[in-house]
């Protein structure tokens, strides 16, 4: 991940996890408007978290001009106590699994170090699709999502100064301003950020044992791994629903939506008129674009639509902006998404505009922002604007079927 690089392509599509808890229901109210300024949806239910895209939950010290950044807040408590701290500026990421927060943002709580299999301290290196890395110890915390009860689980406390950095994390982000956020809430299709591979093999390039200045590769029991916090909830644990308002093609300064916990578990999260697209073990389905089929995935942690370019979509030629498309006029395009085995399928319409033109406005939320990527189709944050997207966790069942699946 990369955040302080203002207009850097955000290709978040790997590992990560976080927390949550159970609770009752309450009413949900929403109002949506579109335009050149703010776009707002207000939610109040206990299983609902507010999401702001470049809004009040995003820190100006880390967001700067970084566009299409969805933020939530989470509450962290010292294990078994009522000593808690709410942390804003947490990137909502459907492309990873787990909760990760910088140590410098956790000033009001004391967490418990998770021991490694070899007797040292368990630590983790997470590498993301854009080449960024996060490093730090795995620690036990009580985590609160929305208005639900606290659940105890392992999280990663991001700290590049912990022990000795392994080679796989030699360029780990050192601060929230370097990363562009205080932390990440990974709520993707799987419950664990590594699973049996890290349980069974020490050479997994993800988990390590730290003793003093010694850092060595380590296995990590499933119970010690950083996990998707939604999957750990006693209720509302079969997935999440991301709802963001429509934003005009020219963009908006910010937008506000919601993250609803659970699918079909409460009166406020019952699916209606949506299609579920089963994914494979890599959280991918099929996207056919311009006559070619690619792997595809839905990722709020990517701040644009990234896919193989065509002659209609030249990359920007201004130095420093080659990660973005700069067509002379806004292009209306279509693709076909399908389950990983080829069905069901459905056509998706989208637009790609000139990134430089967008960046030269005062807006920060852009539904037509995209850039070139070879070999795959990353449906980033713009895909979610104006949609309600369902993220069905692996082996969890709802009326949409058994996960993993994407639905909208």
pLDDT tens for each residue of 176-202? 999 999 999 999 999 999 999 999 999
Give the pLDDT of residue 183. Answer: 97
- Residue 90 β-bridge partners: 72, 183
Query: Based on the number of CB atoms within 10 Å of its own CB, is 308 exposed (0-12), middle (13-18) or buried (19 or more)?
Result: middle
- Residue 102 β-bridge partners: 158
Give the pLDDT of residue 8. Answer: 39
Q: 47-97: per-residue pLDDT in tens?
A: 999 999 999 999 988 977 789 999 999 999 999 999 999 999 999 999 999
Q: Is the pLDDT of residue 36 over 70?
A: no
What is the C-alpha to C-alpha distance for residues 22 and 46, in angstroms, rounded to an integer?
A: 9
Cis omega (within 30 of 0) for bond into 404: yes
Q: Is the pLDDT of residue 24 over 60?
A: no
Q: 147-179: per-residue pLDDT in tens?
A: 999 999 999 999 999 999 999 999 999 999 999
Cα 400 to Cα 83, 184, 188, 238, 403: the distances in Å are 38, 27, 16, 11, 9
pLDDT band at 30 (very low <50, low <70, confident <90, very high): very low
What mean pLDDT comes out for the span 265-269? 96
Residue with tokens 């942390």: 87
Give the pLDDT of residue 400. Answer: 97
What sign results for the dihedral spanned by CA atoms 145, 150, 152, 156? positive
What is the C-alpha to C-alpha distance for residues 176 and 182, in angstroms, rounded to an integer?
A: 5
- Residue 242 β-bridge partners: 259, 389
Closest CA relative to residue 350, chosen from 308, 312, 385, 388: 385
Token digits of residue 371: 């850039």
Say which residues have a Cβ less than 8 Å from residue 63's Cβ, sequence separation at least 6. 3, 54, 69, 89, 180, 364
What is the C-alpha to C-alpha distance for residues 189 and 99, in angstroms, rounded to an integer?
A: 14
Q: 98-130: per-residue pLDDT in tens?
A: 999 999 999 999 999 999 988 899 999 999 988
Q: Is the pLDDT of residue 17 over 50?
A: no
CB atoms near residue 178 (< 10 Å)? 17
Average confidence score pLDDT of the chain: 90
Q: 217-261: per-residue pLDDT in tens?
A: 999 999 999 999 999 999 999 999 999 999 999 999 999 999 999
The pairing of strands 292-298 and 285-289 is antiparallel
Q: 271-289: per-residue pLDDT in tens?
A: 999 999 999 999 999 999 9
What sign results for the dihedral spanned by CA atoms 51, 56, 59, 64? positive
> Are the beta carbons of 316 and 324 closer than 8 angstroms?
yes
What mean pLDDT comes out for the span 336-354? 98
Q: Is the pLDDT of residue 13 over 60?
A: no
Q: Is the pLDDT of residue 143 over 50?
A: yes
Above pLDDT 90, what percent of the chain? 85
CA 135 to chain centroid, in Å, comes to 17
> Are the beta carbons of 67 and 364 closer than 8 angstroms?
yes
pLDDT band at 144 (very low <50, low <70, confident <90, very high): very high
Give the pLDDT of residue 34. Answer: 36
């Amino acid at each position: 991940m990369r955040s302080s690089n203002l207009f850097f392509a955000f290709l978040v599509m790997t590992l990560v996890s976080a927390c949550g808890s159970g609770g009752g229901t309450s009413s949900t109210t929403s109002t949506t408007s579109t335009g050149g300024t703010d776009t707002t949806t207000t939610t109040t239910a206990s299983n609902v978290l507010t999401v702001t895209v470049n809004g009040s939950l995003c820190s100006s010290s880390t967001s700067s001009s970084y566009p299409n950044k969805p933020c939530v807040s989470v509450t962290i408590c010292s294990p078994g106590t009522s000593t808690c701290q709410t942390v804003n500026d947490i990137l909502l990421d459907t492309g990873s699994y787990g909760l990760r927060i910088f140590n410098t943002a956790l000033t009001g709580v004391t967490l418990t170090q998770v021991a490694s299999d070899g007797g040292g301290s368990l630590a983790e290196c997470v590498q993301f699709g854009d080449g960024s890395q996060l490093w730090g110890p795995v620690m036990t915390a009580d985590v609160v999502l929305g208005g639900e009860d606290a659940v105890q689980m392992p999280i990663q406390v991001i700290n590049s100064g912990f022990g000795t950095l392994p080679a796989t994390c030699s360029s780990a982000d050192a601060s929230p301003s370097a990363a562009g956020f205080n932390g990440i809430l990974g709520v993707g299709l799987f419950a664990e950020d590594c699973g049996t591979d890290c349980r069974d093999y020490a050479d997994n390039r993800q988990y390590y044992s730290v003793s003093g200045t010694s850092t060595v590769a380590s296995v990590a029991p499933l119970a010690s791994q950083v996990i998707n916090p939604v999957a750990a909830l006693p209720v509302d644990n079969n997935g999440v629903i991301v709802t963001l308002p429509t934003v005009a093609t020219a963009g908006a300064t910010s937008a506000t939506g919601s993250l609803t916990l659970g699918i079909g578990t409460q009166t406020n999260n019952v699916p209606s008129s949506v299609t579920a697209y089963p994914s494979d073990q890599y959280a991918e389905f099929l996207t056919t674009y311009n006559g070619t089929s690619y792997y595809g995935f839905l990722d709020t942690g990517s701040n644009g639509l990234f896919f193989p370019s065509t002659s209609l979509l030249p990359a920007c030629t201004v130095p420093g902006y080659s990660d973005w498309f700069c067509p002379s006029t806004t292009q209306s395009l279509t693709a076909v998404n399908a389950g990983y085995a080829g069905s069901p399928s459905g056509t998706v319409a989208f637009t790609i505009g000139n990134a430089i033109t967008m960046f030269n406005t005062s807006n920060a939320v852009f539904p037509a922002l995209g850039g070139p990527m070879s070999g795959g189709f990353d449906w980033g944050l713009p895909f979610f604007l104006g949609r309600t997207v369902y993220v069905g966790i692996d082996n969890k069942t709802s009326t949409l079927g058994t996960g993993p699946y994407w639905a909208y």
